[in-house]
Structure 1
Amino acid sequence: MGVHIYQQPTRESDLGQSSATASEKDEAAVQVENGDIDPPRNNENVVHKEEFYAGNSIYAKLHRITGRWGVEERGIERLPSDERDARKPMTVGITWFSINMTFVSLTLGVLPVAAYGLGFVDAAILIIAFNFLGSLPVALFSSLGPVFGLRQIPLSRFYFGYHGAKLAALINLAVCVASSAINAVVGAQLFHAIQPKMPGWAGILIVSLTTLVICTMGHRFVHTYERYSWLPCFVVLLIVLGVFARSGNFDPLLPLGTGTAEASGVLSFAASVYTFTAGWAAYAADYSIYQPADPKPSAAIFWWTFAGNFFPTVFTELLGAAVMTATVHRPDFQEAYDEAGLGGVFSHVLIPHVGKGFGTFCIVLLALSIIGTNIATVYSVSMSVQTLGRKTQRVPRFLWTLISTVGYTAFAIPAYAEFSTYLENLLLAMSYWISIYLGISLTEHYMFRRGVRGYKPEDYTDAKRLPPGYAAIASFCVGAVGVAMGIAQEWYRGPVIKAVGEEFMGDLGCVFGFLFTTVSYMVLRTMEKRYLER
């Protein structure tokens, strides 16, 4: 193959075209460029590293220049088995541990007390139970990465079809950008907590620009950074835990709610917790494809991924919820929260007990830990963009990383002033999307493909060999109807919520979305396979 998978290959023996004339080659190249025919393939439909550099196109020249600096060339192209240089499944678990062992996870602990009126005990039960459930699909899809050598959104073509996956990519792109913006805002709040004169946009730029550098370099740099980034944050959180436990401000016996208000808070917070963890399922394979090729899913990768998601999220969310209990009876804690969010509360916990200098240093480390989470969303955003079409795939991954950074930074600056509202709405919106995504992908994987033997990963670029996508798109729409029926927000209450009662505000959009999607996909996909035979 030549420059990349969209140009006429130089190794014609792969395609059986040794007798093709020059004009025929040119015509075929134009057809590929216009999307009239599928790209040329070798037997496994993989793209080797040297193919990104070959030729004189702008695409190849850019890769040759950036390759000198160690920038990862590969985007959504399938990874050959001989170029997978990771060896230990533990590295996948450590990566996920670092992604979740950050101050971003702590912010979810704000919601039980600040947004849903829950006590610590009921919040703790929900945190443990729904993080357990949310970690399972992430672990599953992470274990599929080494089997197929595909990123997560390109892998979704086997569930949504070639063109249907563009819808999944577009929505995931929006979620990535919004999540990255919220992460940057969290970091800016922490910087503001220790330096009130520091404007929000300055803190946002610190987080976004640092993230940009690491994500531009690519997979190896991401894993290297994540290998160590969890440790400073973990140490600081242990210090916070020790100081707060001795302060006497922890109130584990906040009165448990009852009736409609409690039910509303429980349902909404459960959806938020599940979504926060399960939402990584749309990125999962991106961080395991460099593991050695394996004909079946690796149990080691599954459990390392599960552990890397479950344990840090439970620890950080429980700590966040515990610290927020102080705001109920201590006006000074509430004032700190009103001024600088959770960062203000943590500053109020640390600085009076460990001194301003060391306390400030700890808060800076917490702010920088956010980069670990932000890296995951920014690195994966380019995979979603490249899945939108052949023309977007022709743009190198690192350029999409730059463009997305500009986009989410522009969104983050105005979002800074209304962080709690944006966070709550984002988590619920993510729950709607991920519930539909999992309804389709898990049903296809287990019911229709019956595990990995039902896949032919080399077909990921061939629309004619992939599912037509009609069943997936139709089920997506049915799932959206289910979401609309169960939404409970100030700006909209679904008919089911209204039927329960005016006081009920428990959001069931996530549950209804998953159920409506799954049931409809079972029926429609069965019909699609019967009549269209793929």
Structure 2
Amino acid sequence: MLDPANDVEKASDNKETIVQVVEEHSPHHDVDDVPRDRGLWKLLDRLDGVETRGIERVPPNDRNHTHRLSDCVWMWFGANTTIATFALGTLGSSVFGLDFRPATFTIIFFNLISTIPVAYFSTFGPKLGLRQMTLSRFSFALYFPNWIPVILNLVACLGWSTVKCIAGALTLSAAKFPKIPSTAGVIIIAISSLVPSFIGYRYVFAFERYTWIPNAVMFFLIFGLCGQYFDFSSSGDASTSVTVASVLSFGSAVCGFGLGWSSLAADYTVNYPEDVSSIRLFIWNYIGLNVPLILVEILGAAMMTTLKSSAPKFAEGYASGSIGGLLGAALTPLGLPGQLGLPILASGVIANNILNMYSLALTTQALHPWLQSIPRPFICVIGTVVSIVLAVTGINHFASWLNVFLDLLGYVLAIYCTIVIEEHLIFRRGKWSNYDPENIADPKHLPVGIAATVALIAGVIGTVLGMSQEWYIGVLAKQIEPNIGGDIGFELAAAFTGIVYPIARHFEKKKFGR
């Protein structure tokens, strides 16, 4: 009987197998094979200070040893102290019909759960020196099925960028002075997001470190101005079953937002020293994520209660200008200075968009080694152009786009996170010595991908059974509430994947030895 593990090493005795034929004829390119003496690379050389490194591994001796753990906190503060986070908080009332108290409980609980994988994956960066979509090859193989999370992350980065451009543009257009058309607002937000992501890692952190401060000041100001109009009482018009269904569905959207950072978490920790404490890094990232997410989303939920107050300006502002109109109404008492606060809030989404654009370029290169011939900064330019087109097209569908996008993203990332975490804890025993980051582009040192494929299919089945959308309600979701469903697609996606992957991976390792 042939020993498949031995055959993979020798690559000579059983070339008839599909796996080996694919591997032997797959082009294996390293970054050193990419010609850097012509074309865009030559142009990039003239731009002093621009980061040229793409998805290739950051070796320990190239790390920035002055990188502080607190930088993670300020990065997540910058990325999440934004009107997009505020907008998510408003969905509890506007889309799911929740009163303030259940909306707040949902925000706190599902954020604390969904950000665990994000903080956990951040610890992978220093140990392996690899970006998130590159290190996922240790679970998903070099090409297929790793193409699936990579392509979906491309869609996610573009989707986030589009949503954030729309949120920023709506806020800018709500300002009476200066008056900025929504299309122009989209372009301003997108181009401003491009600059730090184009320059590179160091400037991304430099921008994020301070950009959250003016936004936090504005949100505290809004809280102070509108506190007297908040109504935290229950409307009392929802049955228990509808409330449970609404909490689950809103929770799915909250998970999609928080968990959305998991597909790029390691991108921003690869420059930490290899011996940095994983526990401390996890804690700093977890705090940095949850403080702005929870507080700003709760403020969004509280602001929606002003729509039923005796002051009509809030309902009128929301009806005429969505999130931007609601924020504009909140700042009305300040007169002209209050109107100048809207551009400040709109600029906050730039900090969020920077991370999307920077990781978009890295994810594109992870799709295939040939794409490493395109310099990372110029992929950011292409992504910015695409996001502008999408944002201008969808600016009138912000709330519906945001809800559907967050839900679908949560389903997919629940599957992805489960596979990567189980691979690390079960099959690599949580030991970094069981990884070979130097051979991340060699399929012979990576899983075949059969187990990940089977687990992906299982996760999709769980999603379909438990999802609850306007266009489809799963069989199990209907058991919670027959008419509107209760969205448990996120939970079932993780559960189905978590059960199937260890079984499939056990047989894959037994068969192929890797």
Of the three residues 124, 129, 134, the one matched with 1:149 is 129
Q: By how many angstroms is 1:503 displaced?
A: 2.2
Kept in 2, the 8 Å contact 1:482–1:516? The answer is yes
Distance of aligned partners of 1:489 and 1:56 in 2 relative to their CA distance in 1, 3 Å threshold: closer
Q: By how many angstroms is 1:83 displaced?
A: 1.8
Which residue of 1 is the match for residue 8 of structure 2?
Answer: none
Structure 1 counterpart SS, 2:123: helix
Whether 1:38 and 2:28 are equivalent positions in the alignment is yes
Q: By how many angstroms is 1:92 displaced?
A: 1.8
Residues 260-279 of structure 1 correspond to what in structure 2 (within 5 A)? Answer: 260-279=241-260
Which residue of 1 is the match for residue 21 of structure 2?
Answer: none
Of the three residues 381, 395, 420, the one matched with 2:360 is 381
Structure 2, unmatched stretches of 5+, are 1-23
Of the three residues 310, 332, 347, the one matched with 2:313 is 332
Q: By how many angstroms is 1:502 displaced?
A: 2.8
CA distance in 1 between counterparts of 2:389 and 2:85 reads 23
CA distance in 1 between counterparts of 2:212 and 2:366 reads 31
CA distance in 1 between counterparts of 2:454 and 2:284 reads 35
Of the three residues 449, 453, 458, the one matched with 2:428 is 449
Which residue of 2 is the match for residue 239 of structure 1?
Answer: 221
Deviation digits for residues 135-182 of structure 1 (CA, Å, limit 9, x no counterpart): 211111111111111111101111111112222110100011011000
Deviation digits for residues 240-275 of structure 1 (CA, Å, limit 9, x no counterpart): 111111xx2100113353322111110011111122
Of the three residues 267, 274, 295, the one matched with 1:293 is 274
Of the three residues 364, 370, 373, the one matched with 2:343 is 364
> With structure 2 as the length reference, what TM-score do the two structures score?
0.90
CA distance in 2 between counterparts of 1:53 and 1:475 reads 34
Which residue of 1 is the match for residue 71 of structure 2?
Answer: 91
Structure 2 counterpart SS, 1:162: coil
Distance of aligned partners of 1:37 and 1:416 in 2 relative to their CA distance in 1, 3 Å threshold: closer
Letter of the 2:63 partner, please give it: R
Q: By how many angstroms is 1:444 displaced?
A: 0.9
CA distance in 1 between counterparts of 2:463 and 2:451 reads 18
Q: By how many angstroms is 1:125 displaced?
A: 1.2
RMSD: 1.9
Mean Cα deviation higher: 233-242 or 196-205: 196-205
Whether 1:310 and 2:300 are equivalent positions in the alignment is no
Q: By how many angstroms is 1:37 displaced?
A: 4.8
Whether 1:479 and 2:469 are equivalent positions in the alignment is no
Which residue of 2 is the match for residue 533 of structure 1?
Answer: 513
Letter of the 2:389 partner, please give it: A
Structure 1 counterpart SS, 2:46: helix
Of the three residues 379, 382, 387, the one matched with 1:400 is 379
Which residue of 1 is the match for residue 299 of structure 2?
Answer: 319
Kept in 1, the 8 Å contact 2:307–2:315? The answer is yes
> With structure 1 as the length reference, what TM-score do the two structures score?
0.87
Which residue of 2 is the match for residue 72 of structure 1?
Answer: 51
CA distance in 1 between counterparts of 2:210 and 2:329 reads 27
Kept in 1, the 8 Å contact 2:197–2:358? The answer is yes
Letter of the 1:145 partner, please give it: G
Distance of aligned partners of 1:284 and 1:533 in 2 relative to their CA distance in 1, 3 Å threshold: same
Distance of aligned partners of 1:515 and 1:370 in 2 relative to their CA distance in 1, 3 Å threshold: same
Whether 1:199 and 2:178 are equivalent positions in the alignment is no
Distance of aligned partners of 1:499 and 1:318 in 2 relative to their CA distance in 1, 3 Å threshold: closer
Structure 1, unmatched stretches of 5+, are 1-33, 41-46
Structure 1 counterpart SS, 2:443: coil
Q: By how many angstroms is 1:60 displaced?
A: 4.3
Deviation digits for residues 185-211 of structure 1 (CA, Å, limit 9, x no counterpart): 000100111149633211100100111
Letter of the 2:240 partner, please give it: G
Which residue of 2 is the match for residue 209 of structure 1?
Answer: 191
Distance of aligned partners of 1:500 and 1:365 in 2 relative to their CA distance in 1, 3 Å threshold: closer
Kept in 1, the 8 Å contact 2:29–2:370? The answer is no
Deviation digits for residues 296-338 of structure 1 (CA, Å, limit 9, x no counterpart): 7522211111111010111101111111111134543222112
Letter of the 1:148 partner, please give it: L
Q: By how many angstroms is 1:55 displaced?
A: 6.0
Kept in 1, the 8 Å contact 2:87–2:297? The answer is yes
Distance of aligned partners of 1:36 and 1:513 in 2 relative to their CA distance in 1, 3 Å threshold: closer
CA distance in 1 between counterparts of 2:488 and 2:284 reads 31
Of the three residues 118, 124, 140, the one matched with 1:138 is 118
Deviation digits for residues 455-504 of structure 1 (CA, Å, limit 9, x no counterpart): 22212111111111111012111111111111211111122234555324
Kept in 1, the 8 Å contact 2:175–2:340? The answer is no
Whether 1:440 and 2:422 are equivalent positions in the alignment is no
Q: Percent identity, aligned pairs only? A: 34
Structure 2 counterpart SS, 1:325: helix
